[in-house]
Amino acid sequence: MRVENSFHVPAGVDESWKIITDVPSLVSCMPGAELTEVAPDGAYRGIARVKIGPVQLQFNGEARLHDLDAKARTMKVRARASDAKGRGNVASEMAFALAPEGERTRVDVVTDLTLTGAVAQYGRGAGLIREVANQFTKDFAANLEAKVRQTAPVRREISLLRLLFRALKSLLRA
Amino acid sequence: MKPPPFTYHDPRSLADALRLAGTLENAKLLAGGQSLAPMLNFRYVLPDHLIDLNRIDELSGIRIEGRRITAGAMTRQRALEKHEALAALCPIVREALAEVGHFQTRNRGTLGGSLAHLDPAAELPGVMALYDAHVEVRNSSKTRYIHIGEWSRGYMTPNLEPDEIVTSVAWDAWEGSHGHAFVELARRRGDFAIVGVGALLSLDERKLIRKAAVALVGVAYGPVRLRAAEQALVGKPLDDKALDIAAAEARKIEAKSDLYASGDYRRRVAGVLVSRALKTAHGRARG
Amino acid sequence: MIDRPRSVGAAVKRLEDPAILRGGGRYVDDLSLPGMLEVAFVRSSEAHALIREIHVESASALAGVHSVLLLKDLGVDRRMVQANPHPLLKQDITQYPLARDEVCYVGETIALVIAEDRYVAEDAAALVQVDYEPLPAVIDVRDAAKPDAPRVHRESPDNLVGRIPWKFGDADAAFKAAKHVFRESYVQHRGGCHSMECRGVVASHDAFSDQLTLWSSTQSPYLIRRFLSQYLAREETKIRVVAPDVGGGFGPKAAHYPEELALALAAPKVGRPLKWIEDRREHFVATTQQRDQLWDVEVACEDAGKVLAIRGRALHDHGAYVPYGLLLALGSVVNFPGTYAIPAVDIAIDVVFTNAVPTTPIRGAGRPYANFILERTMDCVARNLGLDRAEVRRRNLIRKEQMPYSTGGKLPNGKPVMFDSGDYPGVLEMVLNNSGYGQKPSKPGRLVGVGLSCYNEDTGLAPFEGANVRVFPSGKVVVTSGAGAQGQGVRTILSQIVAEQLGVKPEEVAVELGDTAVFPMGMSTVGSRTTVTAGSSAHLAAVEVRDKAIRLAAEALECAAVDLELAEGAVRIKGVPDKRVPLGELARRLAGQVNVPSPAGFSPGLEATAYHAVERPVYANGANVAVVEIDPETGRVEVVDYYVAHDCGTLVNPTLVDGQIVGGVAHGISNVLFERMVYDRETGQPQTTNYGEYLLISAPEMPRMHLAHMETPSPWNPLGVKGAGEGGTIPCLAAVVSAIEDALGVKVNEYPLSPERILELANGAR
Amino acid sequence: MGARVDKRSIALTVNGQRVSREVETRLHLADFLRRELRLTGTHLGCEHGVCGACTVLVDGEAVRSCLMLAVQADGREVVTTEGLAAPDGSLSTLQQAFWEKHGLQCGFCTPGMLTTLTAFLREHPDPTEAQVRDAISGNLCRCTGYANIVAAALDAAKRLREKR
């Protein structure tokens, strides 16, 4: 499943790039997600809690940065996670592209998401999962923007972390 | 497909149930079990605790005071279906219940369970929407009365906190004689409705529409009242023009898509069924 | 000849029923053995992946868990035996009993969890962690057939399982010369098995006798025994396979499955009996299905609608493995051109791997696909030439006097395909008359349509099912056979056939089936073959027993054999009923006594075994008319009346034949209107894995049924019987779609059809 | 792990017999009947409440035994397909009609059909064909096409009326 999303961050592209490429902050921005470990090999381990109606899932997994191109301002986050109780697996790739637009930074995110296992095998929920994914990226964008706007530079990192975390969560939810 | 392990609780009083709901982590309330039990068997839902409400007598029963109807959350769907006084006041309840699963599932399924599970296609929330019902929910310290319009918070997500229990639903039957109809399109008998429509209609002495209520299920995550159409109908005869207006309103709703029907198809069928439901209700209102 | 009511042809009540009605059926899940453990399988959640690691520690540590076994723990590293080898099978890839390193569909077996009961086994299965490396999956057969498609098996050169040609006559010349050529494309999808009983296996190994016993809800106990023997390198005498009461088969239970093999491998290692009962969710992802077959068809014909040639190219979705050879796709070609005398046929089916559950035959076994093509082609000709659909069929049907008719095709043994008998035009007229075809009904607010189709089917497939008939000294008559039963009433049928010869009542004949220990050889209960094969064998054996009894009784009664008859459990002198010898008495004489020679000229035992040799199938046929009503505003279709005229030769038990036909029609309507096994095209995740989403027809959706029979006995077996198990389903799909097309007035070349799709088609969508 | 097993003692009446057992609370009623009591006439066809094969009568009402826990049947009266025949083993009118009308083939759905229709005919002694079809719309059968099941139910209803 592919979900595309664009939004603006009220910060310059250099600052935005710094925030976006800081994975702990990125991950911690995602609602329901929690970073539990930064492995020496560059993997970020964490948990994401997702609720689809009455079904509450807890995905455990790891994320890694790929194809970091500081010049082009593009990067990818690949994540893989599994529900702790065996109900599903998620694999996702979020491709970020940043570009300056005046004072602000435009962020394009293309999310490619694969959900497998029991939770993915429910046709009446098929439309729902896409909607959850769309909603997530929307929330992610809004939160990221809001955080950057309201947060002092010192705290900015953390808020962006949360935002990114939300983004990841959206991935996971979808 | 065997239920997962959990700790089972079967409180005998609402107070005990509320205490359990307020203290246990990852607990699930078990009403009639016709939706929850499959989700347990499929192991989609994996609670640590199951709080069975079936032994709490105070949660079931239908009370009628004048036009005021109060039904306990654990009232079985079959009890609602068979209740003659209720059928006299609100005949649409019986008509809609005939579309709810099968009689074997209605023998166990409950009113409160249907509201709390909140399947998008569930008929009973739609009927409750027609009557502007209020859902009574309690936790151990307070009681909330939630208008049915505020009940859905998203896909299968009612306006209910983990420590709360649906205790009853109350609504007012319409005054005087009126017409009703509940129609739905499902693939087979007893299936989830692709679209379901309930309509209530009362006429004045000139046979013009005095009051109308139209609700749809299956199209969105919760029941949808067609308020604009209802208002547009008031004071008019139910002629083709009026039906067109109502159907056009129905076709405007934001309908969901899934594997079984697209949003476009749902909108189209919604228009058809709204028109059919109104015609039937109108015919019955005229007597 | 015999002065008593006949058994064959009578609507006798079934022997099977009283026990089942009391709840005393004996299905595999009803079996409980001392010390038995229960099994759950860990299955692939991925459509295509490499398995990097499997973590079983926490599952193994769970209280109540006996063990968690992987392929390496089973001590084998081989793929399963091919059930149906075929020269056209280009890539013969079967499964491992448990996945080795690559999984190719969601549901593929990975690990075997053994626990004290199924509840705990499922708890533990959820704790097994499989670390996958996803590979690209391909689900749609059109995608899979492309040269650059991802490979269903990572090491395959392409996704082609095999290409099946079916060609005779000079199609190219016919197309060149033809006045008219019409082209159409058809999309067909049939869905899953859905016997109400899922599959199930109990395996037990007795170390003392080294005997392995497998109870399986299978249509093929003898084949399972053979394949186990081959795989386990264990003599067939050391394997017993029992099919107890089987709660429906419909084809997929004829295949040999990884679960059977895994339990057979594990039971001796564990040292305790093991039980695995497939649950419904597993049935959706692990029992073979029958999904897409897509056709491009050209027909060449004359002005009058006489068809000169058919050309067709098809893609067949085979799923991820080849458990059952090419039989399903072959079933789509063997009967071409069905009931029609079409001189030239040129067909090729590409059988293609996809990352989905493997496909094997389901009721009709490829024939419904082919019938749909032929019948829709007849409708296509009628539509284009402005002719009546029945008239086009009349002009093309094989006539009675052309029987036996050679189509031009060849059987697997190289012999020509030849239809034995039947009055195809007569059967068509019968259904047209019964349905009042020509006077189209109408109903306010509804679009009404009438559809029709003809069919024939190769039934009673080679090579054999044997039967033994034995009279015990108690007088009890027992029939044993290698044939099985999944609800068809085979016991009743065999009892009728034997009772007819032995002069007893059917209910006095006991029939034992489905157990390799009671009869030496057997094949499989598939392809509408059991009454023809086992029925004929039982008949031949019963005749032999009867003759033996008469010869022996003639000596005892000192009279000529011609003066004797069998009635009321005895051989007696015609017209002198009290001059009689009970069958039990004759049986005792032939049962033998130490140091007393058997009567001269008699083999031991009042018994006989026969194997009716089937060299070629016999062909049942029929014609159907369906009447549908469509709600033009919602697209909802209701089949309101359904007319069947059917000829399966001699009716051994008309009630049971009717039951087969109505059940088959239900299956067909369900395929057209309700059943669709959906996979996500990108991820290969099955989307319809419960009965709220995968719909089976229920009682209110069934039409009024109107059945009529013609009886044209087959000259090719002693009873004149032809099979009846699939004749309800095969023509039904085309008949219902034809009726929908008639109602809508637009072309409909596909099924299943949802109400939404009906509206789209009505609005001119393609 | 898994040591936590939640158990309860239950006592109920099954086919007229008092039974009591200690059961795991997650055990569903169908498995209680099948596994604990060895009443294997109750069949599991889907375990999610759609196929109807597991239908039993609880206090006279037809319910899905796969959707009820055994603990919930504590104190109740359960009748399964094994309890439908007369004490002397003779078939009930409905069972007899199923036999005569060829209302079963593989027999797997049959117990659920029988329990469902037993409850239905008590409430509807003179049903129409459409009512019968509706009554069994929650019971799936892959073999019969339902025609003979409907015929059997109508025949049984007629005979039951005549008996009264």
pLDDT at residue A148, rounded to an integer: 67
pLDDT digits 0-9 by tens, C538-593: 999 999 999 999 999 999 999 999 999 999 999 999 999 899 999 999 999 999 99
Supply the pLDDT for residue A147.
67
Give A168 to chain B, closest Cα distance, Å. 21
Predicted local distance difference test score (pLDDT) of residue A126: 66
- Cross-chain residue pair C678–B259, CB shorter than 8 Å: yes
Contacts of C695 in chain D (CB under 8 A): none
Q: What share of chain C is helix, strand, coil (3-state, %, to 5)?
A: 30, 30, 45
Residue type, C77: D
- The alpha carbon of residue C687 is apart from the nearest alpha carbon of chain A, in Å, by 4
- Do chain A and chain D touch with ≥3 beta carbon pairs under 8 Å? no
CA–CA dist B91, B85 (Å, integer): 9
CATH code, residues D7-83: 3.10.20.30
Contact B1 D67 (CB under 8 A): no
Contacts of C702 in chain D (CB under 8 A): 133, 145-147
Nearest residue in D to C28, CA atom: D40
pLDDT band at A19 (very low <50, low <70, confident <90, very high): confident
Residue A155 pLDDT level (bands cut at 50, 70, 90): very low
Q: Residue C317 to residues A157, B9, B78, C255, C295: CA-CA distances in angstroms?
A: 52, 50, 46, 17, 12
Minimum Cα–Cα distance from C29: chain D residue:
D40
Whether the complex's predicted ipTM surpasses the cut of 0.90: yes
Span C113-130, mean pLDDT?
97
For C49-100, write each residue's pLDDT tens digit.
999 999 999 999 999 999 999 999 999 999 999 999 999 999 999 999 999 9
> Where residue C747 falls among pLDDT bands split at 50, 70, 90?
very high
Q: Indicate whether A149 pLDDT > 80.
A: no
Mean pLDDT of chain C: 96
Q: DSSP character for D36?
A: I
Using left for φ > 0, alpha for ψ between -120 and 50, and beta otherwise, residue A78 falls in beta
The residue extents of the domains of chain C are 17-24+463-611, 399-406+421-460+617-766
pLDDT in tens, D141-154: 999 999 999 999 99
Q: Does residue C2 register a pLDDT over 70?
A: no
Question: C725 to each of C14, C191, C250, how far by Cα in Å?
Answer: 17, 19, 9
Contacts of A57 in chain C (CB under 8 A): none
- D-interface mutation test, from C60, C196, C704, most D Cβ less than 10 A away: C196
D164 min Cα distance to partner chain C (Å): 24
Q: What mean pLDDT is predicted for residues D23-42?
A: 98
CA distance C435 to C440: 10
Question: Would the CB atoms of B1 and D47 count as touching at under 8 Å?
Answer: yes
CATH 3.40.50.720 fits C17-24+463-611, yes or no: no
Residues 197-236 of B with CB under 8 A from A: none
Confidence of residue D2 (pLDDT cuts 50, 70, 90): very low
pLDDT-derived band at C131, boundaries 50, 70, 90: very high
8 Å CB contact of C22 and D106: no
The fraction of chain D above a pLDDT of 70, given in percent, is 98
Of all residues in chain A, the one with the smallest CA distance to C134 is A91
What average pLDDT does range D105-132 have in this prediction?
A: 98
Residue A25 has pLDDT above 80, yes or no: no
Mean pLDDT of C635-647: 98
d(CA C599, CA C464) in angstroms, rounded, equals 32
A117, A122, A126 ranked by CB distance to C45: nearest? A117
* Chain A contact set for C685 (CB, 8 A): 115-117, 120-121
Closest approach of D69 to chain B, Cα-based (Å): 9
Q: Where are the domains of chain D?
A: 7-83, 93-163
Please answer yes or no on whether A55 and B45 come within 8 Å at the CB atom.
yes
C227 sits in which H/E element: helix C221-232
Percent of chain C with pLDDT over 70: 99
Domain edges within chain A = 2-173
Report the side by side order of strands in the sheet with A74-83.
A2-9, A104-116, A89-101, A74-83, A55-69, A44-52, A33-38
> Which has the minimum average pLDDT: B191-195, C34-38, C260-264, C269-273?
B191-195
As given in the structure block, the two tokens for residue A68 are 């970091």
* Side-chain-facing half-sphere of C260: CA atoms under 13 Å: 34
| Window from A81-95, C190-204, C536-550 with minimum mean pLDDT | A81-95
How far, in Å, CA of C81 to CA of C96, rounded? Answer: 9
| Whether D129 contacts chain C with CB within 8 A | no
- What CATH class has A2-173? alpha beta
* Residue contact B5–D26, C-beta within 8 A: yes
Mutate to test the interface with C, among A2, A59, A83, A114 (most CBs of C within 10 A): A114
CA distance D55 to C294: 40
Residue B38 at interface with chain C, using a CB cutoff of 8 Å:
yes
Query: Given an 8 Å threshold on Cβ–Cβ distance, is B44 in contact with A85?
Result: no
User: How many Å apart are CA C585 and CA C599, to the nearest integer?
Assistant: 13
A85–C134 C-beta distance less than 8 A? no
3-state DSSP call for residue B182? strand
The contacts of residue C465 (CB under 8 Å, 6+ apart) are C481, C482, C483, C522, C523, C529, C530, C533, C534, C537, C611, C612
Task: Give residue A125's pLDDT.
Answer: 67
Arithmetic mean of pLDDT over chain B: 96
Name the phi and psi angles at D30, rounded to 5.
-60, -45
Q: Confirm if A123 and A8 have CB atoms less than 8 A apart.
A: no
Tell me whether residues C693 and A118 touch, CB distance under 8 A: no
Best residue in B10, B104, B108 for a mutation probing chain D (most D CBs within 10 Å):
B104
Nearest CA in chain D to B102: D138
> Is C399-406+421-460+617-766 a CATH 3.30.365.10 domain?
yes
Chains B and A touch (3+ CB pairs under 8 A): yes
User: Do the Cβ atoms of B188 and D28 come within 8 Å?
Assistant: no
**pLDDT score of A152:** 35
Are D28 and B38 inside 8 Å of each other by CB?
Answer: no
* Chain A: residue whose CA lies nearest to C106: A117
Asked if B95 is an interface residue toward chain D (Cβ–Cβ < 8 A), one would say: no
* pLDDT at res. A132: 73
Residues C408, C414, C420, C422: is their CA dihedral positive or negative? negative
| pTM of the predicted structure, to 2 decimals | 0.96
CB contact under 8 A, C662 and D147: yes
Q: Give the Cα-Cα-Cα angle C93, C77, C156 (nearest 5 degrees).
A: 30
Report how far apart, in Å, the C-alpha atoms of A124 and of each of A56, A128, A134, C674 are. Answer: 17, 8, 17, 15
Q: Write out chain C residues lying below 8 Å of A115, CB-based.
A: 683, 685
- The answer to whether D108 contacts chain C (CB < 8 Å) is yes
Residue range B48-95, pLDDT digits in tens: 999 999 999 999 999 999 999 999 999 999 999 999 999 999 999 999
Check pLDDT > 50 for residue C304: yes
Percent pLDDT > 90 in chain A is 22
Domains recognised in chain B with CATH numbers: 7-51 (3.30.43), 63-172 (3.30.465.10), 179-286 (3.30.390.50)
Taking the Cβ of residue C58 and every Cβ of chain A, the question of whether any pair is shorter than 8 Å is answered with: no
Q: What is the C-alpha end-to-end distance of chain D, expressed in Å?
A: 59
> What confidence tens digit (pLDDT) does each residue in C259-276 have?
999 999 999 999 999 999
Residue A172 has pLDDT above 60, yes or no: no
Sheet holding C200-206, edge to edge: C65-69, C109-115, C37-43, C274-277, C200-206, C211-216, C239-242
Query: For A136-145, B22-31, C573-582, which range has the lowest pLDDT when averaged over its residues?
Result: A136-145
**Model pLDDT, residue A7:** 84
Cβ distance of C700 and B189 shorter than 8 Å: yes
**Gap between the terminal Cα atoms of chain A:** 8
Sheet architecture: strand order including B27-30: B7-9, B49-52, B27-30
CATH architecture type of domain D93-163:
Orthogonal Bundle (1.10)
With 80 as the cut, is the pLDDT of residue A124 above it? no
Integer angstrom CA distances of residue B176 from B14, B86, B172, B201, B210: 36, 14, 12, 11, 11
How much is the average pLDDT of C688-710?
97
**Residue of chain D nearest C729, judged by CA positions:** D145
Residue C1: what pLDDT? 42
Per-residue pLDDT tens over the stretch C607-630: 999 999 999 999 999 999 999 999
Q: What is the pLDDT of residues D48-96, one digit of tens each?
A: 999 999 999 999 999 999 999 999 999 999 999 999 999 998 999 999 9
Q: How buried is B26 (Cβ within 10 angstroms: 0-12 exposed, 13-18 middle, 19+ buried)?
A: exposed
Token digits of residue A19: 């925030």
Pick among D43, D61, D67 to test the B interface (most B CBs inside 10 A):
D67
> What confidence score (pLDDT) does residue C690 get?
95
B156 and A CB contact within 8 Å: yes
What pLDDT, on a 0 to 100 scale, did the predictor assign at position C412? 77
